[in-house]
Copies of this chain bind each other. A is one copy, B any other.
Amino acid sequence: MFIHETKIRVGYADTDQMGYAHHSNYAKYCETARWEAMRELGINYKEIEEKGILMPVISMKFDFIKPAFFDDLLTVKTIIKNLPKARMIFEYELYNESGILISTAEITLAFIREETRKACIPPEYCLQPLMEYFFVKEFVK
């Protein structure tokens, strides 16, 4: 299990007239956290695309437990539980500054070839660091 934490500040544009961060923004928060998590593993999503692979989101689900407010510095925990096969699942826990869990999410991405737009297996570039993490680093622990 790989866990990564990113800090994300709720912008004013993210709020709605209820005074809450609008729910549509959580998909963006998780996206930012996702690529930061991958960066820590040595994977840059920009490079994945440059190698001709795209990772579109094919499903997402969110539970909103408590609202987030303007200027809140959220902690977004990205969790990868398994090595990706055709799909890669990211789980999320979002905490506010008081350490209270305000939202959970699960987002599934596919691997597709840019040219054909057909599903493919994860590229070596992406799989290698994940395998190293799951089979080496986790084992050492």
Cβ contact within 8 Å between A61 and B58: no
Determine if A141 is an interface residue (Cβ-Cβ < 8 Å). Answer: no
The interface size bin for chain A is 35 or more
Determine if A134 is an interface residue (Cβ-Cβ < 8 Å). Answer: no
Determine if A25 is an interface residue (Cβ-Cβ < 8 Å). Answer: yes
Chain B contacts of A9 at CB under 8 A? Answer: 32
Given A15-B16, A31-B13, do A62 and B60 touch, yes or no (CB 8 Å)?
A: yes
Determine if A125 is an interface residue (Cβ-Cβ < 8 Å). Answer: no
A interface, CB within 8 angstroms of B = 9, 11-13, 15-20, 22-25, 27-28, 31-32, 35, 44-46, 49, 54, 56-64, 67, 70-71
Query: In the complex, given contacts A12-B17, A61-B62, what are 19 additional A-B residue pairs having Cβ atoms less than 8 angstroms apart?
Result: A11-B31, A12-B22, A12-B31, A12-B45, A13-B16, A15-B16, A15-B17, A16-B16, A18-B54, A20-B56, A23-B57, A23-B60, A44-B71, A46-B71, A59-B63, A59-B64, A60-B60, A60-B61, A61-B61
